Amino acid sequence: MEVIAVDIGGTHARFAIAEVKDGHVVRLGEPTTLKTAEHGSLQLAWQAFGRTLGRPLPRMAGIAVASPINDDLIKLTNNPWIIRPRLITERLGVDQWTLINDFGAIGHAVAQLGDDAFLHVCGPEGPLPAKGSLTVCGPGTGLGVAQVFRHARGYNVIETEGGHMDFAPLDGIEDAMLKRLRKTYTRVSAERIASGPGIVPIYETLAEMEGEPVKSRSDRDIWDMAFSGTDSLASAAMDRFCLSLGAIAGDLALAHGPKGVVIAGGLGLRLKDHLISSGFGERFVAKGRFQSLMASVPVKLITHPQPGLYGAAAAFAQEHTA
């Protein structure tokens, strides 16, 4: 059957038509990407997508949302939209639907995609384990986290808000990063560092340590300078970002049961080449008495261009067609 797959993040809302059967995704169509700032609600963005499609929309939907899911009122973490699940059938004109956290959706994608959708980052070579717990985490507008548990009968996805655990500095530079962030936030979460906007306090901390003027720059500008190599401070900030992400990913794996880790998120994919050559792997395993255990954990990067859309369709398929 045809399903509308939707992936709503802090900056973009993505739509595609998917075909699902027997609990799995058969095909994912070409995505349409809309800016959330240009549409007042999910319903309005949904209607805009329908106009681009030029034919009646399917009456089934898998919807991934960058927010904790509840039955009453969903306020997106990094997006002003409000979603009322009880009104989805009426407002979107669908008969069946699945609503899932955005990284829960990516968990479904991790569980269903083949080995060719993953790039090795560190740890043992070879595919992800067929059984046991997998940690899925990824930097984007925020830091998304989910857990996938594979077993003999299939898999389960556990949606989490692990990106909001406390940030734990491991050296003097990260102490300075935390101190800087505490001037603004009483409590500093991992997401304040390991997300797209997190490059800003890293960059500003390094500038201050070097005795340079702390220029006000957007996270987009700093990332552009880092990837182009045109600014040494931005390059150093990107290196530090990868170190911190490695430590955080290792902490999450310890909490979930360290069998395998998948890095996702739009920024994760942009960092593909840099993650492998950075100190990410060393920080991932640097867990004191558990260092040898962490060294046995494979870490992969998901390379599918639209894992959120794929996972939203997969979550619908698991709930309604398995």
241, pLDDT greater than 70: yes
Predicted confidence band at 54 (pLDDT cuts at 50, 70, 90)? confident
- Chain-centre distance of CA 241, in angstroms? 16
pLDDT (0 to 100) of residue 78 = 67
Buried b (16+ CB within 10 A) or exposed e, 82-114: ebebeebeebbbbebbbbbbbbbbbbbbbbbbe
pLDDT (0 to 100) of residue 76 = 77
pLDDT tens figures, 78-131: 678 899 999 999 999 999 999 998 889 999 999 999 999 999 999 999 999 999
Q: Report the C-alpha dihedral over residues 133, 26, 303, 165, rounded to 10 degrees.
A: -40
Per-chain mean pLDDT for the chain: 94
Record the tokens describing residue 126, joined without a space: 């070879």
Predicted confidence band at 195 (pLDDT cuts at 50, 70, 90)? very high
pLDDT (0 to 100) of residue 145 = 93
**Where does 29-128 show beta strands of DSSP type E?**
32-35, 60-65, 74-75, 82-83, 96-101, 118-122
- Please, which residues bridge with residue 78 across strands? none
Alpha helices in 210-306 (DSSP H): 219-228, 232-256, 266-270, 272-277, 280-285, 291-294
The percent of residues above 70 in pLDDT, for the chain, comes to: 99
Do 159 and 148 contact (CB within 8 A), yes or no?
A: no
Give the residue carrying structure tokens 């398995």: 322
Q: Between 218 and 53, where is the model more confident?
A: 218
What's the average model confidence in pLDDT over 189-202? 97
d(CA 299, CA 260): 6
299, pLDDT greater than 80: yes
d(CA 199, CA 241): 7
Q: Report the C-alpha dihedral over residues 251, 254, 259, 262, rounded to 10 degrees.
A: -20
64, pLDDT greater than 90: yes
Q: Between 10 and 161, where is the model more confident?
A: 161
Name the nearest CA neighbour of 308 among 85, 2, 74, 11: 11
* Predicted TM-score of the model (pTM): 0.91
77, pLDDT greater than 70: no
pLDDT tens figures, 14-36: 999 999 999 999 999 999 999 99
pLDDT tens figures, 36-47: 989 999 999 999
What's the average model confidence in pLDDT over 308-320? 97
